[in-house]
Structures are given as structure tokens and as C-alpha cells.
Amino acid sequence: MWKEFRDFAMRGNVVDLAVGIIIGAAFGKIVTSLVNDVLMPPLGLVLGRVDFSNLFISLSGTHYASLAEAKAAGAPTINIGVFINTVLDFLIVAFAVFLLIRQMNRLTGPKAEPQPEAATTKECPYCLSTIAVKATRCPQCTSTLVEETSPAKSDDKVTQP
């Protein structure tokens, strides 16, 4: 059982997934910092010196100066600003993943359509039985067959015994 687990864990797909998760977590931290430390302060300034991380609704009816004060008092709150920051985090990560996938699709190019396999059988134009493509005589009706097997074109090329 240990060997089977080790083989599973060391497969290329599992290792690639683990690396992707680790890089994704680090990328998520960068995006969170971008939203909280770079994007939201100027946006809050433009909207009248609003600190989005402190936007909340106190459900207890008591007014608190900050979210930290409300949490310290144990008041139930709806944290609108934190939610807005999280939505912006998600949108930025989703857009970055979209750009990454789009670029990967461009690099790999369009997927080639699978080629249909060459036919190995054909129909006898007289008895309609299935015969090998290379057959020159039908084993069912014994008609002599030439290259063309279409009845419209092969009437004068096929002879009946």
C-alpha cells in the first residue's frame, strides 16, 4: 500500500498540482496586498477618504468608530469593506488566470483534428455485402470488382458470372 501511495504521489500530475497550489497561494498574497495596499487607498481617497477595510454595519445598534473596536466589543458586524476587498482580489486573480490560459492557448495553437482512419471494408455494389477494400471479387455474389465500387460508375466495369 505504501508503494502504491508513493507512486500516486510522485506522478507528474500530482507534483504539478502541488507546485501550482503553492505558487497560487503566493500569487494570492501578492494580489491581496495589491488590492489592500495599492488600489483601495487611492479609491478611498477619491470617494471621500473612505477606508474600505473599516466599512461595516454594526448589528447591535451601537456605533463604533472602527471595525477593530466593534470586534473588540464583541458586536456582530457585516463587514462590507472586507467583502469588497475580497471581491476585488477574486476579480484580479480571475483576470490573471484568464490571461495566463489565453496565452497558453495561443502558444499551443489550435488542436489538430484527429484524422479519420482509412476504411478497411467496402460494400459490394450488387449484393451490398461487406467486403475487404482490396477485394477484386465479391465472396457472396462472385461479381468481379474493379477499383470503383459505386454502382452508378461501375456498371460497365463489373461483370456478373
If one counts the domains in the chain, the total is 2
**Residue-by-residue pLDDT tens, the chain, 161 positions:** 888 887 777 776 777 888 889 988 888 888 888 887 888 788 878 877 777 778 888 898 888 888 889 989 999 999 988 898 888 888 888 888 888 888 888 888 777 677 778 888 888 888 888 988 888 888 888 888 876 544 544 444 555 55
Nearest-CA neighbor of 150 among 128, 135, 132? 128
Is the CB of residue 89 less than 8 Å from the CB of residue 28? yes
pLDDT digits over 12-25, tens only? Answer: 677 788 888 998 88
The number of helix segments (H) and strand segments (E) in the chain equals: 6, 4
Q: Residue 44: how many CB atoms within 10 A of its CB?
A: 17
DSSP label of 77: E
Return the sign of the alpha-carbon dihedral for residues 129, 132, 137, 139.
negative
Q: Are residues 103 and 128 in the same domain?
A: no
Q: How many CA atoms lie within 13 A of 160 on its CB side?
A: 4
Q: Are residues 90 and 138 in the same domain?
A: no
Q: How many CA atoms lie within 13 A of 3 on its CB side?
A: 0
**Domain limit, last residue, from 81, 108, 135:** 108
Strand pairing report for 121-123 and 77-78? unpaired
Question: Could you give the 3-state DSSP secondary structure of residue 8?
Answer: helix
Q: Are residues 87 and 159 in the same domain?
A: no
With 0.95 as the threshold, say if the pTM is over it: no
Q: Are residues 16 and 88 in the same domain?
A: yes
Q: Are residues 98 and 136 in the same domain?
A: no
The C-alpha atoms of residue 29 and residue 26 are separated, in whole angstroms, by 5
Is the CB of residue 124 less than 8 Å from the CB of residue 138? yes
Parent domain of 56 = 2-108
Q: Residue 142: how many CB atoms within 10 A of its CB?
A: 12
The CATH code of the domain that includes 67 is 1.10.1200.120
Q: Are residues 16 and 92 in the same domain?
A: yes
Amino acid at the residue 54: N
